[in-house]
Structure 1
Amino acid sequence: MTEVVLVHGAWADASSWSGVVQPLRDDGFTVRAIANPLRSLSGDAAAVRAFLATLAGPIVLAGHSYGGAVITNAATGLPNVEALVYVNAFAPDAGQAATQLAGPESALSVDPTTIFDFVPAALPPTRETELYLKPETVFESFATGLDDDGKALVAATQRAATLGALNEPSGEPAWRTIPSWYLVGTEDRIIPPDAQQAMAKYAGAEVTEYAAGHVGLITHPGDVVQIIRRAAAGR
């Protein structure tokens, strides 16, 4: 039976897939939502790749947001990964970094001191500096589609990503040899839909749009489940 492996993005953890896991399990899939370290793109991809190497069966590998960049690198050359699924995600080509792919219309494409809290707070930041989204960024741009209590929960429980991880150039992309599917959130303010469409096009992905913001995996889990089902069926 196909195994589904879910990789979360920055400022999130594996619980962001909670609404997706049970419907897929009900379909008979073995599902694992695994930890993404959020330390460096190459290191994060190596950690995911090491997990994938423990699985024997065919794999559908899905990534949300920065998790898309991670799966793009983690799956390269792995014969048992049969499909890639991008959910409001970065799908970089070799040499591209996540931040540059967000594009000028992204809420992230502003003075970083206005949207992030730096840890440590010393400026200028280094590659190891951890970035937390300011609460107003979560409420206005990142977690749109949730009510205020949901947004507050996202803001309170976010996991920091390092500056280096978000700016590290990608390696050879797995989508060159692995079929891919892309779920474009038309209300996304972090990775605007035009940027998502552009990445999906050069990755040769099958594209589906849904009326969701950046955390569509939380607000619209049924749409995410559907595209993973399609990827598993190869259609």
Structure 2
Amino acid sequence: MALPTIVLVHGAWADGSSWDAVSTDLQAKGYAVLTPPNLLRRVTVDAPYVASFVAQRTSGPVVLVGHSYGGFVITNAATGGGDVRALVYVDAFVPDEGEFTFQILGGSGSALDVPDPTTVLDLAGYPDSPEGDVEAFLKPAVVHEHFAQDLPEADRALIASSQRPITLSANTTPSGPPAWKRLPSWAVVGTEDHVIPPATQRSMAERAGATITEVEASHVSMVSHPSVAVEAIVAAASSITG
């Protein structure tokens, strides 16, 4: 049986390059890998886009992988297009129906769960936005101290300067019915994650019945420890091919 296609979905404040090390390793193992853009607008926009991408750009079985907010997107996109057979969550949200990201982070100890969001985020308007919506950028200090603290300083500075913003409305739009209720899932939990704290990640992953791997890493473990994400993805792919 042919190897499944691996589709890697990035999260907020990132782009497809956040998966480069993982993608290179998977390609060396013979997998076809695709890394679509995540629009970072809201799940009702982002999930249909990813589902459409998967439907049109893949044939045969697919392993759908999401990092951070990308986990929110794949939870909703997996039922919308293509032959998705397994889900992999890397330092990611694994929402149930009706949940939204700010709700999940509330009381979790996340560095983003603060009374005044402008202490951790820089906010800016954007053209044709829904009334009151803005884009959110991480303040550089948050990138250095809480988002990617286990990367070299130069890499952290690059992330801070090149980050793609997510809208505030993306963080308050509830999830639809979760694909993990019918698909097997795997999860990589960064034990030094300050954005989605490890206890919150574990709770969501356990609820989804995911096979969990832990790694001593920040919120971007797929950058600092790519082999751990690769192992989880290969395990998911192997469950398809037998």
Distance in 1 (alpha carbons) for counterparts of 2:123 and 2:198: 28
Contact 1:126–1:164 (Cα < 8 Å) also in 2 = no
What's the TM-score once normalised by structure 1's chain length? 0.95
Q: CA deviation at 1:48?
A: 0.0
SS at match of 1:171: coil
Q: CA deviation at 1:102?
A: 2.3
Contact 2:186–2:236 (Cα < 8 Å) also in 1 = yes
1:86 — aligned with what?
Answer: 89
What's the TM-score once normalised by structure 2's chain length? 0.92
Across the two proteins, how many residue pairs are aligned to each other?
232
2:208 — aligned with what?
Answer: 203
What does residue range 174-193 of structure 1 map to in structure 2 within 5 Å?
174-193=179-198
SS at match of 2:7: strand
Q: What is the one-letter code of the residue matched to 2:143? A: V
Contact 1:11–1:160 (Cα < 8 Å) also in 2 = yes
Range with greater deviation from structure 2 (96-105 or 132-141): 96-105
What does residue range 90-105 of structure 1 map to in structure 2 within 5 Å?
90-104=93-107, 105=109
Match for residue 46 of structure 2 among 24, 44, 49: 44
SS at match of 2:35: strand
Distance in 1 (alpha carbons) for counterparts of 2:235 and 2:164: 30
Q: Which runs of 5+ in 2 are unaligned?
A: none
2:30 — aligned with what?
Answer: 28
1:15 — aligned with what?
Answer: 17
Q: Does 1:137 align with 2:142?
A: yes
Cα gap change, 1:142 to 1:115, in 2 (>3 Å): same
Q: What is the one-letter code of the residue matched to 2:102? A: T
2:157 — aligned with what?
Answer: 152
Root-mean-square deviation (CA, aligned residues, Å) is: 1.6
Q: CA deviation at 1:103?
A: 3.9
Cα gap change, 1:162 to 1:127, in 2 (>3 Å): farther
Q: What is the one-letter code of the residue matched to 2:51? A: R
Q: CA deviation at 1:145?
A: 0.5
Q: What is the one-letter code of the residue matched to 2:187? A: Y
Distance in 1 (alpha carbons) for counterparts of 2:199 and 2:106: 9
Distance in 2 (alpha carbons) for counterparts of 1:166 and 1:12: 16
Match for residue 119 of structure 2 among 114, 120, 123: 114
Deviations 1:139-185 (A, max 9, x none): 11111101211110010000000000111100000000010001011
2:7 — aligned with what?
Answer: 5
Cα gap change, 1:63 to 1:127, in 2 (>3 Å): farther
Q: What is the one-letter code of the residue matched to 2:226? A: P
Contact 1:127–1:164 (Cα < 8 Å) also in 2 = no
Q: CA deviation at 1:197?
A: 0.4
Cα gap change, 1:79 to 1:147, in 2 (>3 Å): closer
SS at match of 2:88: strand
Deviations 1:101-148 (A, max 9, x none): 124200010020100001039xxx965300000111111111110121
Report the identity percentage: 50
